[in-house]
Amino acid sequence: MHVWLNGRLLPSHEATISVFDRGFLFGDGVYEVVRFFNGMPIGMGLHTARLARSLSLTHIIGFDAQQLREICRALLEANQLTNASVYMQVSRGSAATRTHMPTKGMVPTVFACASACGAIEELEKPTTAACAVVVDRRWHHCNIKSTALLGNLLPMFESADQGAEEAILIRDGLVSEGTSTNVFAVVRGQLVTPPVETDPPILNGVMRIRLLEACAQAGVSCTVRPITESELAGASEIILTASRRMFSSVTTLNGNIVGGGTVGPIAKRANAALVARLRAECSMTSLGACASPPILAS
């Protein structure tokens, strides 16, 4: 496997980062994950804009988020992938020693890798998931896609102890999001999803945006409003979205069957609408040309 590190492609076993890198020592970095079908990116403009916003909010300077597109292309070509996801991480960089306050003039560490994923045809039938409700104890800047994910990992351990693969987080009696997903629910026959511009905010996932667009285009009514914990517990259907997972129907919550324990009717319509939306996007978008050929380490 070839990875991208600080401006060049090289075999993963040759990629090294300083032990004083702030991403390693402090989780002082941001990241993005972009999904590709047949070599075409989903929501590249959204990912680029969110990466730029995360860099700005964390005061990480020295890397242009617009490079995401070219780095993705280089990785897919080097690894001969078409159906894939690309992970990019930008840390603040490294210094000569460990200090809490970063020194001026630090050069960001830019790392990215690609891994194979399923083709778009595999989305035709939604996957299912078991979830557990966990109290949201994370920090108040969840709109930043930070690499410091311990606050997300701990609820995952807690949900795993309950036999679940994902935790749906509750803050002040309201659904926020999953540890790595956005949440939709069917409450009294209406598909709803929490707003992202709350206090504190949640992450506006690219697949969340695409599903909202797809539902609007397909005539599947979806309302953006707060969801209470009791509404979630009584929901007839629950849906998770994410760039890696894409779309899943929750069949159990806290060990209790959701709906009939299968993919519900609204989830089927929403998933079909999303797949159609993604197919249309894949036929219209392309990565475009690289500014220069990728550099492979010898």
Give every CB contact of residue 230 below 8 A, 6+ residues apart in sequence: none
Indicate if the alpha-carbon torsion angle 148, 173, 211, 217 is positive or negative: negative
The token pair that represents 220 in the structure block = 């599947």
Out of 104, 125, 145, 268, which one is annotated catalytic?
145
d(Cα 170, Cα 183) in Å, to the nearest integer?
Answer: 11
d(Cα 144, Cα 58) in Å, to the nearest integer?
Answer: 8
Instruction: Indicate if 268 belongs to the active site.
Output: no
Indicate if the alpha-carbon torsion angle 204, 153, 151, 132 is positive or negative: positive
Q: E strands within the chain?
A: 2-5, 8-11, 29-37, 40-41, 84-91, 109-116, 127-135, 166-171, 174-178, 182-187, 190-193, 222-224, 237-242, 246-253, 256-257
Which DSSP category does 68 fall into? H
Q: Which amino acid is at 93?
A: G
Beta bridge partners of 257: 252
Active site residues: 145
